[in-house]
Amino acid sequence: MRRPALYIPPRPVAAAAEQSPPPAHADASLQRPAPPTTEPPARPLEHQVERPLEAPPAPAPRSQPPRWRRHARAWIGATALLLAGLLLGWQLATRPQALTQQDIDAAVRHSLETQALRSPVAQAVDRVAPSVVRVMGFGHERGRRPAHQGSTRGGEDHETSVGTGVVLVDSGLILTNLHVVKGAERIGLVFSDGLSASATLVASRPEQDLAVLQASRIPDDLVAATLASSTSLRLGDTVGVIGFPYGIGPSVSAGVVSGLDREFESPQGRHTLNHMIQFDAAANPGNSGGPLFTAQGEVVGIVTAILNPGTAKTFIGIGFAVPIESAATAAGMPPF
């Protein structure tokens, strides 16, 4: 005979766990130890007292700097600004400005109005004059009575000719015209510094009326002339002449190139000079052998002859010079 099933109400799990221990037959490996409790034990209510919230401490008041220090800082700042402004202004004032053509023209006009400029010929003379030499031929004129008993020649040693020379080499090599020294028994020189010396004829070229002299002594600071090729000359170029016309000098005259590659027949008709430079700078007897120079102070020719149909032998505006290329060749110097 079956028994009716008994209904047993469910128990609370927690309560069952607290009241009844685990069954004895349960596996020990399935039982886990309870984790340790880290929370502090609760205080009894009677020991917990609520405290009021405290406000954070107020910062200590900052001490104000002295008044003089505040003013000093202000003055330092103002001074620094002032110095920066002055520096900027100085840089702007000293910065080079681009010159315009109007500025250049104004400066040139001001210089011309306030300063006297020397002529190009005057500046050229400064370069040429130290190389110019006075050349003299000396001879003996027989007098009615001999100078002393037993003398084979009478009269006094006197100047028979005068001309001009140009120093080619600072060792004392001088170029002049042959007709200045031809027939002279003695040749004398006077340099630009006043030193007098004798000279000997070392070479000649009659077809071009050229002679080369060697001085017996020379100044310590003797300067040779600066030579330039005559091929660069053009009609109308400024040229100058310096020498001892009629023994007066040194004398300077200036003009232009009047012609090139001219021919000139000597008054005696003995020979014709070719490839001559024609110029209109004043030249007279005594200028022979002197330099024909440019506005740059460069010697381009040797003054040799003047054209004068009359008997006065004065300058009428036409002079001739041997190109320096031919003259230097006569002295044994290579042409340009």
> CA 281, CA 143: separation in Å to the nearest integer?
40
**pLDDT exceeding 90 applies to what percent of the chain?**
45
Contact 289, 180 (CB under 8 A): yes
Place of tokens 């009894």: 44
Q: Evaluate if residue 52 carries a pLDDT over 90.
A: no
16 pLDDT exceeds 50?
no
Burial class (CB in 10 A: 0-12, 13-18, 19+), 8: exposed
Band of residue 148 on the pLDDT scale cut at 50, 70, 90: very low
Type of residue at 163: G
Q: Is the pTM of this model over 0.85?
A: no
Q: Is residue 53 part of a domain?
A: no
Better pLDDT: 144 or 31: 31
More confident site: 68 or 48 = 68
Is residue 4 domain-resident? no
In a domain, 150, yes or no: no
Q: Of residues 131, 253, 288, 326, which has the active-site annotation? A: 288
> What is the domain count for the chain?
1
Query: Are the C-beta atoms of 84 and 76 separated by less than 8 Å?
Result: no
Catalytic residue list contains 209: yes
Statement: residue 145 has pLDDT above 50? no
* Catalytic residue check, 103: no
Any domain includes 208: yes
With a cut of 90, say whether residue 66 has pLDDT above it.
no
Task: Decide if 211 contacts 176 (C-beta within 8 A).
Answer: yes
The answer to whether 245 touches 162, Cβ cutoff 8 Å, is no
- The whole-number pLDDT of residue 57 equals 62
* Assigned domain for 224 exists: yes
170 in active site: no
Phi/psi at 82 (nearest 5 deg)?
-65, -45
Tokens 């003047």 found at = 306
Q: What is the reported pLDDT for 146? A: 42
Catalytic residue among 209, 230, 253, 280: 209
71 vs 193, residue with greater confidence: 193
Does any domain span residue 76? no
**CATH of residue 306:** 2.40.10.120
Does residue 293 sit within a domain?
A: yes
Poorest-pLDDT segment among 31-35, 225-229, 324-328: 31-35
Among 131, 161, 179, 253, the one annotated catalytic:
179
Which residue range forms the structural domain that includes residue 226? 127-140+156-330
Q: Which of 140, 135, 166 is nearest to 152 (CA)?
A: 140
Confidence of residue 29 (pLDDT cuts 50, 70, 90): very low
Residue 322 located in a structural domain: yes
Angle at 209 between CA 156 and CA 192, to 5 degrees: 60
Mean pLDDT of the 103-119 span: 81
CB 241 within 8 Å of CB 282: yes
Give CA–CA dist 301/241, Å, rounded: 10
Give the per-residue pLDDT at 15: 45
